[in-house]
Amino acid sequence: MTLSVLGISTSPRADGNSDLLLREALRGAASAGADADSLTLRGLRILPCGECYACARTGRCCLKDDFDGVLDRLLAADRLIVATPVFFMAVCAQAKLLIDRCQCLWSRKYLLKQPLFPDGPRDRRALVIAVGGSRSRRMFESVRMTMKYWFDVLEVGCFANLFVNGVDARGDARNRPEALREAFRLGAALAAATPMPEAPVTVEIFEPAAAARPGGETDGR
């Protein structure tokens, strides 16, 4: 059976650095025989969670926008590759909108005790790609934790993380061949029939530490 791999671009900027690495990861997954597809949040209408608690009664979000279609694809995929730039030491706004709207899955699982997959648990795994313009080595800590708890709700195991700092202007990732190679390699490994590691494989491609930018923004897009 061919594995389905869904790559999710969350960046507000087209053809930015996270997009470049995501494409390489999807190429890697395809090289391993997976059915690799992509989804771009940019341009979709996904409203913020209104904290209305309707999902606590129904297990579904009551807001009407593009979220339902995205959720269907999230749940259908065997493997996910999520790519985000780092803004102010966290995932970008587009990524956070999607994550917060998955509160309906949390309600479904933990309040209503309804399984996400009626046929039983599935072997689902994910690769996280995050890039930032700062040379800080700490900017990915929030990304790591946010993704961990989101994946718990999605019933996805975090297979690997690829964190790259010091990329800011569009196309900077092209000057980091080691990052492109690792994106391809991790995408292929994600789609291969290998045992799930006990802890996520984390690849950090960092430039030397430097003074933080004024305001603390770390924009890798």
DSSP letter for each residue of 44-64? ---PPP----THHHHSS----
Answer yes or no: is 198 within a domain.
Answer: yes
Query: Number of structural domains, the chain?
Result: 1
Q: What is the DSSP-derived secondary structure letter of residue 71?
A: H
- Enter the tokens of residue 14: 């087209």
Binning pLDDT at 50, 70 and 90, where does residue 211 land?
Answer: very low
Residue 77 has pLDDT above 70, yes or no: yes
Answer yes or no: is 51 within a domain.
Answer: yes
Q: Is 152 helix (H, G, I), strand (E, B) or coil?
A: helix
Q: What pLDDT, in 10s, does the model give residues 185-196?
A: 999 999 997 888
Q: What is the CATH number of the domain that holds 80?
A: 3.40.50.360
Answer yes or no: is 90 within a domain.
Answer: yes
Answer yes or no: is 167 within a domain.
Answer: yes
Beta-bridge mates of residue 196 = none
pLDDT score for 213: 44
- Enter the tokens of residue 207: 């430039």
Answer yes or no: is 220 within a domain.
Answer: no
| Number of Cβ atoms within 10 Å of the Cβ of 35 | 15
Alpha helices by DSSP H, listed for the chain, are 17-31, 55-58, 67-76, 93-101, 103-106, 141-154, 177-191
Given a contact cutoff of 8 angstroms between Cβ atoms, the answer to whether 101 and 26 are in contact is no
Residue 152 has pLDDT above 50, yes or no: yes
Answer yes or no: is 20 within a domain.
Answer: yes
Answer yes or no: is 110 within a domain.
Answer: yes
Q: What is the dihedral of CA 38, 42, 46, 47, to 10 degrees?
A: 150
Of 169, 191, 167, nearest in space to 178 by CA: 167
Q: What pLDDT, in 10s, does the model give residues 84-128?
A: 999 999 999 999 999 999 999 999 999 999 999 989 999 999 999
pLDDT score for 220: 53
Q: What pLDDT, in 10s, does the model give residues 12-66?
A: 999 999 999 999 999 999 999 999 999 999 999 999 999 999 999 999 999 999 9
pLDDT score for 215: 40
Choice between 42 and 219, residue whose per-residue pLDDT is larger? 42
Q: Where in the sequence is the domain holding 69, given as residue range(s)?
A: 4-213
Phi, psi (degrees; rounded to nearest 5) at 27: -65, -40
Per-residue CA distances from 124 to 50, 77, 179, 186 (Å): 29, 8, 24, 15
